[in-house]
Structure 1
Amino acid sequence: MTVRHFLSLMDCSQAELIGLIKRGVELKSLHQQGVIYEPLKNRVLAMIFEKASTRTRVSFEAGMIQLGGQAIFLSPRDTQLGRGEPIEDSARVLSSMCDAVMIRTFAHQDLETFAQYSRVPVINGLSDDLHPCQLLADMQTYLEHRGSIQGKTVAWVGDGNNMCNTFIQAAIQFDFNLRVACPEGYEPDKAFLDQAGDRVTVTRDPLEAVAGAHLVNTDVWASMGQEDEAQARLKRFAPYQVTPAMLDHADESVLFMHCLPAHRGEEVNDQIMEDPRSVVWQQAENRLHAQKALVEFLLAD
């Protein structure tokens, strides 16, 4: 039997992705009703963190507990990976002891290598290229508030980073149009743009990207590993700060999202986080339920 991995949104069909976010809504409802649902009793998720996290760790760990399973947190200090053990060796050993492995790391190639040698599902908890689990939560949040995102216009304002790359894949898989506003030299990966074709447009003008948009997204201007570029980026990205006034150019039904943590006063101002059009807190909560749907999909009999 072929092992299913979730390294990118392209690892699932469109129907499977839509099913996952709808299942996330169902699991959220069960949780809110206090219904005990434990299809993953005696299942173990290993969680390898080479990058720090709040939401990814808590959502996967709490999710596994709520589904009746367990999660093991492994930092670079806790494993031989941090001391130079080959990835393929760690993959063989960990996948013989655990039922799935979630990895939050830098190089996407490391995820692919681990998955190649793993005999259990591997989940991308974030890489420098992609963050697919976050997009499941984002799409679930939009579905809950506005229904289907198919045919809608989505704006990305800021750095063409791993989140932006993943929104490009989401535009393909969930059938929406994406406008990316970023400074020259900070575009998303060309390979992802080529894959999306004319479904995605890149502009230098954030107001052009936001005009009439149904969903507006941003992220920090300097991601983990780019701290030495932070000051230079502050100057280049200053015109791209998302504010309530910028959202006024969007569709009247617009939602604002940010994957968090937010650097208030940089990519967003304080007012936007509490704006009635903002759904950042619901978006964060939905990491829990969307990932429960994902783990159930990969592991439940």
Structure 2
Amino acid sequence: MAARHFLTLNDLTINELSDLLDHASFLRREWQAGKVRNSLGNRVLAMIFEKSSTRTRVSFEAGMSQLGGSAMFLSPRDTQLGRGEPIEDSARVISSMVDAVMIRTFAHEKVDRFAQVSRVPVINALTDDFHPCQLLADMQTYREHRGSIAGATVTWVGDGNNMCNSYINAARIFGFHLNVACPEGYAPDNDLLSAHESCVTVFDDPREAARGANLIVTDVWASMGQEQEAEERRKIFAPYQVNPALMDLAAPDALFMHCLPAHRGEEISDDMLDQPGSVVWDEAENRLHAQKALLEFLILGKLEQ
């Protein structure tokens, strides 16, 4: 049987995603109760990092440990992924020795090529185009605080980046409407927008996009690899800060999320993470539990309580 991969949210059906998110919440409760779980005993996850990350490494490594397995960290110095050795050759060798592979890299093409020949599940832990694992945590967090997100209005404020792209995918799959507020020239990919025009609206004015929203989400203005643009982006994106005044335009019980790390005083005000509607810390922790559910689903082919 061919391995299942998780390269974008589109790789799972809405029923599979719903079951996975329910299981993630169960795993969170189980972990908080101090219960020991050994569902992935003797299983190994290879973690290939070409882009560094605090939360991704900690959540996947801790997650495998909490499920009784182990994780192997591979930095750019430890692999020949696309440097001298074809990606396909690396994939064949690595996937013959482990039970799943997690890749965090720049070009989305790399995870696609790796998955095409891998014997085991491949997980996209972030590329320049998509960040589906973060969306699992975000959707889990919304469900835990507000129930189903179907029919809700979600507002994305800032750069039309990989996180925004994954929110566009999520809008169609989970049945919410996405308002995207971004400066001219920084909108998401046109082809992606065209394919989702029924559930996505693009705004120039973040205040208009935020009106009545049930959830407001943002991210840093300059992602990894865009450091040389940081100063210019700070000027362009200054009107797109999420702050209490913007949240006041949203629904009275609106939530706020940020995938972190956050640059206080830039994309968010200094006090935004501590506002009543902020669920950022639950969102961050849920990376751990959503990914544990994902690992069980992909490696075991099922979810068991």
| Stretch of structure 1 that moved more, 123-132 or 77-86 | 77-86
Q: Is the 8 A contact 1:155 1:181 kept in 2?
A: yes
Return the offset for 1:82: 6.9
Could you tell me which residue of structure 1 aligns to residue 261 of structure 2? 261
Return the offset for 1:100: 0.3
In 2, Cα distance between equivalents of 1:82 and 1:261: 28
Normalised to the residue count of structure 2, the TM-score between the two structures is: 0.97
Q: Is the 8 A contact 1:155 1:178 kept in 2?
A: yes
In 2, Cα distance between equivalents of 1:37 and 1:253: 35
The amino acid across from 1:140 in the alignment is: Q
User: Is structure 2 residue 65 aligned with structure 1 residue 94?
Assistant: no
Could you tell me which residue of structure 1 aligns to residue 213 of structure 2? 213
Could you tell me which residue of structure 1 aligns to residue 60 of structure 2? 60
Return the offset for 1:117: 1.2
Q: Once the two structures are superposed, what CA deviation does each residue of 1:124-180 show, in whole Å capped at 9, x if it has no partner?
A: 000000000000000000000000000000000000000000000000111000000
Return the offset for 1:246: 0.6
Secondary structure, aligned partner of 1:90: helix
Q: Is the 8 A contact 1:76 1:82 kept in 2?
A: no
- In structure 2, stretches of 5+ residues that fail to align are none
User: Is structure 2 residue 195 aligned with structure 1 residue 195?
Assistant: yes
Could you tell me which residue of structure 1 aligns to residue 119 of structure 2? 119
User: Is structure 2 residue 35 aligned with structure 1 residue 38?
Assistant: no
Normalised to the residue count of structure 1, the TM-score between the two structures is: 0.99
In 1, Cα distance between equivalents of 2:19 and 2:174: 12
Q: Is the 8 A contact 1:256 1:280 kept in 2?
A: yes
In 1, Cα distance between equivalents of 2:234 and 2:80: 37
In 1, Cα distance between equivalents of 2:104 and 2:265: 27
Return the offset for 1:50: 0.2
Could you tell me which residue of structure 1 aligns to residue 236 of structure 2? 236
In 1, Cα distance between equivalents of 2:229 and 2:18: 37
The amino acid across from 1:285 in the alignment is: E
Q: Once the two structures are superposed, what CA deviation does each residue of 1:68-111 show, in whole Å capped at 9, x if it has no partner?
A: 10000000011222743211110000000000000000000011
Give 4+ residue runs of structure 1 displaced > 4 Å after superposition. none
The amino acid across from 1:125 in the alignment is: A
The amino acid across from 2:167 in the alignment is: F
| Stretch of structure 1 that moved more, 188-197 or 90-99 | 188-197
Secondary structure, aligned partner of 2:58: helix
Aligned-pair RMSD on alpha carbons? 0.8
In 2, Cα distance between equivalents of 1:19 and 1:242: 32
In 1, Cα distance between equivalents of 2:157 and 2:76: 33
In 2, Cα distance between equivalents of 1:135 and 1:72: 24
- In structure 1, stretches of 5+ residues that fail to align are none
| Equivalent residues in 2 for 1:242-257, closer than 5 Å | 242-257=242-257
Q: Which has the higher helix share?
A: 1
Secondary structure, aligned partner of 2:196: helix
Q: Is the 8 A contact 1:88 1:114 kept in 2?
A: yes
The amino acid across from 1:256 in the alignment is: F
| Equivalent residues in 2 for 1:142-181, closer than 5 Å | 142-181=142-181
Q: Is the 8 A contact 1:50 1:76 kept in 2?
A: yes
In 2, Cα distance between equivalents of 1:267 and 1:91: 38
Could you tell me which residue of structure 2 aligns to residue 17 of structure 1? 17
Could you tell me which residue of structure 1 aligns to residue 283 of structure 2? 283
Could you tell me which residue of structure 1 aligns to residue 72 of structure 2? 72
Return the offset for 1:35: 0.9
Could you tell me which residue of structure 2 aligns to residue 138 of structure 1? 138
Secondary structure, aligned partner of 1:236: helix
